[in-house]
Amino acid sequence: MVSCLSKSHLVSKSGFPESRMIFRVKQALFDSGTHKLFGALLVVSSALLITGCHDGPMYALKVANPYYSLHEWKKDDLYGETDHDRRNELVALSSTISSMPEERQSYWTNQFKEILENDESAEMRRLVMVSAGQLQSDEALDLIKTGLSDSSTKVRMEACRSLGETRGEVATRLLALTIGTETNQDVKNAAMVALSSHSNQIAIDSLRIALSDRNPATRDIAVQSLKEVTGKSYGDDPQVWIAALDGQPTEEQSVSIADRMMDLF
């Protein structure tokens, strides 16, 4: 016998009040022989709570939906600065840090070091490489060196791009070393592109070796970078470039109008 508390509530067996609607639904489920299904649903729900599903069902769809993303950022704001805010700050910093006073640059350099050592986000570490490339200092170069050995491919690629922005023989040697030791083809190619900004013999010698690479894309990038480094135009055939760099008489090819237009952009 169920005792009545009020017109809108009943007392369950556990002693807690429940609405008439919930009581009638439960009674219908058990009376219709679907109590087994109901019990199974309760087990599944309990399992999800126990295992602590972090993102809930259809996570990928939620991430793609800007409403859910914005909603999550707003929730995170209750607990402090979000990754979204931190990313925006680092993006803005990369365009202003080169004009900051030296003491502010030094402050941020120390912050960057902490990020590289402790931040689990590869995107945050990549953005550190972007800012480090805007600084012409030994401390910034040390940050980029750290980035070259990062576990993330995109961080190492960004480190190469930053070395392309960094003047000096040390930066050139780091890029040449990366080309010779890096196993990831994308990072290796990024280093060759970055060498196009270093017009010295170290860059030429490193790119000369890449002309014999088995990968056609790598050979093509080496040719394009050598055009920038040497200011010469021996066409797009790697063998012709090898002959020219080895001192054999080689005629330069005239630059087509299409190539000139591409250079403008």
- Per-residue pLDDT reduced to its tens digit, 173-199: 999 999 999 999 999 999 999 999 999
Is residue 250 a part of any domain in this protein? no
Q: Compute CA distances 236 → 80, 134, 145, 239, 252, whole Å.
A: 54, 32, 32, 9, 11
Bigger pLDDT: 141 or 28? 141
The token duo for 230 is 């040497």
d(CA 191, CA 109): 23
Average pLDDT, whole number, for the chain?
78
87-145 tens-digit pLDDT? 899 999 999 999 999 999 999 999 999 999 999 999 999 999 999 999 989 999 999 99
Is residue 23 a part of any domain in this protein? yes
pLDDT in the model for residue 212: 94
Segment (H or E) for 33: none
pLDDT for residue 38 is more than 80: no
> What's the average model confidence in pLDDT over 250-257?
73
Q: Which of the residue ranges 85-94, 154-163, 195-204 would you say has the lowest mean pLDDT? A: 85-94
Q: How confident is the model at residue 83 (pLDDT cuts 50, 70, 90)?
A: confident
Q: How confident is the model at residue 259 (pLDDT cuts 50, 70, 90)?
A: low
pLDDT in the model for residue 150: 97
Is residue 124 a part of any domain in this protein? no
Is residue 44 a part of any domain in this protein? yes
Which domain covers residue 34, as residue numbers? 1-48
Facing residues of 17 across strands? 11
> What's the average model confidence in pLDDT over 150-175?
96
Is residue 21 a part of any domain in this protein? yes
Q: How confident is the model at residue 12 (pLDDT cuts 50, 70, 90)?
A: very low
- Which residues lie closer than 8 Å to 133 by C-beta, 6 or more apart? 140, 144, 161, 162, 163, 164, 165, 166
pLDDT in the model for residue 16: 44
Query: How many structural domains are present in the chain?
Result: 1
Is residue 42 a part of any domain in this protein? yes
pLDDT in the model for residue 44: 44
- Which pTM does this prediction carry? 0.66
Is residue 212 a part of any domain in this protein? no
Judge whether 155 and 186 are in contact, CB under 8 Å: no
pLDDT in the model for residue 79: 47
Is residue 31 a part of any domain in this protein? yes
d(CA 134, CA 151): 23
Q: How confident is the model at residue 217 (pLDDT cuts 50, 70, 90)?
A: very high
Facing residues of 19 across strands? 9
Segment (H or E) for 19: strand 17-19
Residue 238 CB neighbours (<10 A):
21
